């Protein structure tokens, strides 16, 4: 099979870049992806322009002095735009300050005019490749670091593609400086770049698709206001038949109607968000919590037993005594009442356990609020209830 010359490879490279331009332009215009897609479209377009001009130079259409600095500056601008686009995708927000990186090409022009370093093809090529290394390495590291907060497989794929590109360009830069002789031929290096540029575009699109899929799942399972799971998800994933010792905690905000009526629903929403966050911080894994509706939350604790269930309920009760939002007439703190039900030694149906917890919650309300009450579904002797002031109160009638 005959080997390809540099001019042909540059044409193929340009074609792969133009495909990327079309992909990101489609994402920006048709799918309205405002973050990441426009800068990446610009980056691929600039790289395509640079490779076109370089191809003309390789074919002798342009003289060496007329295109050497142009292609270097265009390449530097392209990798600046690429970093901006990937940063927007990673953080999911735009920042005008990032565009300051586009002053770097101007710096290169000033240095080139002062030193004529671009006349040396090796130095010029090394600067181009090291610029690419910086863009790929910084972006890849940020993409990998964000996996903890957003564990999507496409993040790892994109990180791997960026890391491979960074290593490839680093090897090319060292080779052009005479510091490393294990690099592939320029033709082979560009063929690798063609494949990896396709890989980069595909990984970015996959990440966007995975995010959309995850958002759809969240819409079906997560309460939009508080960020807690919703009622549907809770009953879908919690065992319908509870094992011995499994516990349900029903948490209800005290005097919530008065807060809504007196201060408006906006303040009520702030209270619910704050309480959901405090519950989330007070319960351990694999405890599960959700917002059932209105001002009521539910917590499921597997294999808890009465003592641990009441201890956790008390921890939740204490954790959600949060300062009220700044609004006239609000109490200095918001409190909750909690009803606790623990599955018997023979196990109980989840629905029945929720009913028992709801009855215990009613007793907590009737006993003065800001307290935890245990329903009598445990086969052994339950511990006493805990009042909000730290004293012990006796169980009220559960009505069963």
CA–CA distance from 155 to each of 159, 184, 387 (Å)?
6, 28, 48
Instruction: In whole angstroms, give the CA distance from residue 18 to residue 5.
Output: 20
According to the model, what pLDDT value does residue 90 have? 93
Q: Both 206 and 309 in a single domain? A: no
Percent of the chain having pLDDT more than 70?
86
Check pLDDT > 50 for residue 246.
yes
Mind listing the pLDDT tens digit for each residue in 99-110? 999 999 999 999
Report if residue 316 sits inside a domain: yes
Mean pLDDT, the chain, rounded, equals 84
According to the model, what pLDDT value does residue 324 have? 59
The residue from 168, 202, 221 where one domain ends is: 221
Report if residue 189 sits inside a domain: yes
Q: Both 297 and 196 in a single domain? A: no
Weakest mean pLDDT among 107-111, 210-214, 382-386: 382-386
Q: Both 11 and 154 in a single domain? A: yes
Closest CA to 7 of 52, 49, 50, 40: 52
According to the model, what pLDDT value does residue 362 have? 93
Percent of the chain having pLDDT more than 90?
41
According to the model, what pLDDT value does residue 327 have? 52
CA torsion through residues 15, 163, 4, 67, sign: positive
Closest CA to 150 of 237, 90, 83: 90
pTM listed for this prediction: 0.68
Q: Both 170 and 252 in a single domain? A: no
Q: Both 195 and 236 in a single domain? A: no
According to the model, what pLDDT value does residue 286 have? 67
The domain that holds 307 is classified in CATH as 3.30.70.270
Report if residue 363 sits inside a domain: yes
Tokens 């109160």 label which residue? 393
Check pLDDT > 60 for residue 397.
no
Binned at pLDDT 50, 70 and 90, residue 220 comes out as confident
Q: Both 216 and 249 in a single domain? A: no
Binned at pLDDT 50, 70 and 90, residue 398 comes out as very low
Longest dimension (CA), the chain: 96
Check pLDDT > 70 for residue 329.
no
Check pLDDT > 60 for residue 396.
no
Report if residue 158 sits inside a domain: yes
* Residue 206 vs residue 54, higher pLDDT: 206
Mean pLDDT of 269-288: 86
Which domain range does residue 346 map to? 229-393
Catalytic residues: 295
Tokens 């495909």 label which residue? 19
Check pLDDT > 90 for residue 316.
yes
Report if residue 47 sits inside a domain: yes
Report if residue 400 sits inside a domain: no
Instruction: In whole angstroms, give the CA distance from residue 393 to residue 386.
Output: 6
- Other CB atoms within 10 A of residue 227 CB: 13
Q: Both 215 and 268 in a single domain? A: no
Q: Both 161 and 275 in a single domain? A: no
Mind listing the pLDDT tens digit for each residue in 19-74? 889 989 988 887 777 788 999 999 999 999 988 887 787 677 777 777 888 889 99
Long-range contacts, 343-347 (Cβ 8 Å, 24+): 343/242, 343/243, 343/244, 343/245, 343/246, 343/247, 343/377, 343/378, 344/244, 344/377, 344/378, 344/379, 345/244, 345/379, 346/244, 347/241, 347/242, 347/243, 347/244, 347/246
Report if residue 398 sits inside a domain: no
CA–CA distance from 72 to each of 97, 161, 188 (Å)?
23, 23, 20
8 Å CB contact between 361 and 396: no
Check pLDDT > 80 for residue 181.
no
Mean pLDDT of 345-365: 89
The residue from 170, 201, 221 where one domain ends is: 221
Binned at pLDDT 50, 70 and 90, residue 151 comes out as very high
Check pLDDT > 50 for residue 231.
yes
Domain total in the chain? 2
Q: Both 266 and 209 in a single domain? A: no
Q: Both 183 and 249 in a single domain? A: no
Report if residue 399 sits inside a domain: no
The residue from 176, 202, 221 where one domain ends is: 221
Q: Both 85 and 159 in a single domain? A: yes
According to the model, what pLDDT value does residue 43 have? 95
Q: Both 116 and 13 in a single domain? A: yes
């Amino acid at each position: 099979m005959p080997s390809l010359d540099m001019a042909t490879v540059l044409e193929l490279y340009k074609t792969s870049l133009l495909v990327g331009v079309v992909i990101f332009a489609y994402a920006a215009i048709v799918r309205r992806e405002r973050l990441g897609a426009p800068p990446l479209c610009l980056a691929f377009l600039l790289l395509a322009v640079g490779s076109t001009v370089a191809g003309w130079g390789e074919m002798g259409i342009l003289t060496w002095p007329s295109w050497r600095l142009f292609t270097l500056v265009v390449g530097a601008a392209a990798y600046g735009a690429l970093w901006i686009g990937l940063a927007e995708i990673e953080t999911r927000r735009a920042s005008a300050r990032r565009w300051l990186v586009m002053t770097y090409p101007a710096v290169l022009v000033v240095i080139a005019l002062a030193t004529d370093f671009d006349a040396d093809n090796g130095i010029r090529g090394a600067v181009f490749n090291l610029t690419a290394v910086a863009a790929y390495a910084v972006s890849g590291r940020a993409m990998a670091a964000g996996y903890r907060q957003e564990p999507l497989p496409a993040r790892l794929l994109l990180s791997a593609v960026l890391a491979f590109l960074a290593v490839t360009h680093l090897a090319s830069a060292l080779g052009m400086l005479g510091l490393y002789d294990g690099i592939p031929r320029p033709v082979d290096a560009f063929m690798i770049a063609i494949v990896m540029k396709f890989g980069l575009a595909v990984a970015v699109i996959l990440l966007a698709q995975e995010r959309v899929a995850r958002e759809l799942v969240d819409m079906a399972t997560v309460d939009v206001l508080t960020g807690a799971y919703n009622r549907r998800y809770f009953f879908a994933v919690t065992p319908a038949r509870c094992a011995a010792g499994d516990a349900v905690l029903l948490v209800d905000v005290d005097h919530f109607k008065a807060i809504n009526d007196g201060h408006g629903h906006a303040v009520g929403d702030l209270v619910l968000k704050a309480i959901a966050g405090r519950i989330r911080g007070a319960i351990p894994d694999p405890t599960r919590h959700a917002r059932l509706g209105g001002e009521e939350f539910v917590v499921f604790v597997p294999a808890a037993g009465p003592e641990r269930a009441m201890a956790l309920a008390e921890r939740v009760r204490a954790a959600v005594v949060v300062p009220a939002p700044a609004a006239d007439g609000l109490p200095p703190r918001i409190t909750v009442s909690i009803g606790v039900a623990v599955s018997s030694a023979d196990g109980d149906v989840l629905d029945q356990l929720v009913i028992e917890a709801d009855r215990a919650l009613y007793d907590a309300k009737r006993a003065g609020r800001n307290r935890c009450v245990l329903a009598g579904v445990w086969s052994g002797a339950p511990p006493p209830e805990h009042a909000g002031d730290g004293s012990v109160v006796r169980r009220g009638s559960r009505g069963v």
